[in-house]
Chains A and B, each alone.
Chain A
């Protein structure tokens, strides 16, 4: 079952990551300010914590799953190099690594 979880793609591109970070920081700060003012006005610190937890849940839902809005700028990968020249480069590197281990 763990392999099923690991196979779900969760990546975002770089601009999407920046957007996600801005979104959750903004939501948490706004809910912190609202919670502080409301808790101070009714003189119960419990409500400040509840409002913070609500902000935390909202930002979890908005930023943890990889929504399509976070994948608008995908990276431009180079086309794959054909396999024969790739093998020639790999083999001498592997033997060098084995020597270092000894």
Chain B
């Protein structure tokens, strides 16, 4: 501690250690929070086609088209009154999943649409007549006349410090696909 450089070294190292302790404290205060939010999903139109899937095997596969509405107020969490954007949240990554069972596979999960919500963006989601962003291909022909396809909205919380929790919204919507190809079914 006799020269400026050694004092500066000591001071800087101490500040960094204290900063690391503060970041750990920030993580601890938000690690055990329950982050599920009620979500309302409504589907307006559903259609299937049977086309060649060039990324898979050479037979024709089912391709689904879903048009949906989502409304969720993710600012407020169900049981606790703290906002979802607490001091340890940098951004949210939302995605809509379709989950169903077919004869060839017991569990299929397909992501249809996603969105990034940054800190400071509007957190009330009120989307109407949204088309799916990604192709809803099935591995085979399991979508036709499938009675039970469940849509759920989930999100990844990207924190400032700590683990990334994966949360499921507490509302989901089941729908059935039409019996024949190229005919739209409205809800």
Contacts and interface: CB of A to CB of B under 8 A. Distances in A.
A24 B87 contact: no
Contact of B8 (A11, A29, A64): A64
Overall SS of chain A's interface: helix
Interface centre among A29, A60, A65 (most CB of B within 10 A): A60
Contact of B11 (A36, A45, A60, A66): A60
Contacts of B22: 32, 35-36, 48, 52
A2 B168 CA distance: 61
Contacts, number: 67
The 10 A-B pairs with the shortest beta carbon distances in the complex, nearest first, are A17-B1, A43-B87, A45-B87, A10-B4, A32-B18, A56-B15, A24-B11, A43-B86, A45-B160, A11-B2
Interface size class of A (residues with CB under 8 A): 20 to 34
A73 interface: no
B2 A12 contact: yes
Contact of B87 (A25, A29, A39): A39
Contacts of A60: 8, 11
A32 B19 CA distance: 8
A20 B1 contact: yes
A28 B26 contact: no
Interface string B6-49: 01101100110011011001100100000000000000000000
Contacts of A17: 1-2
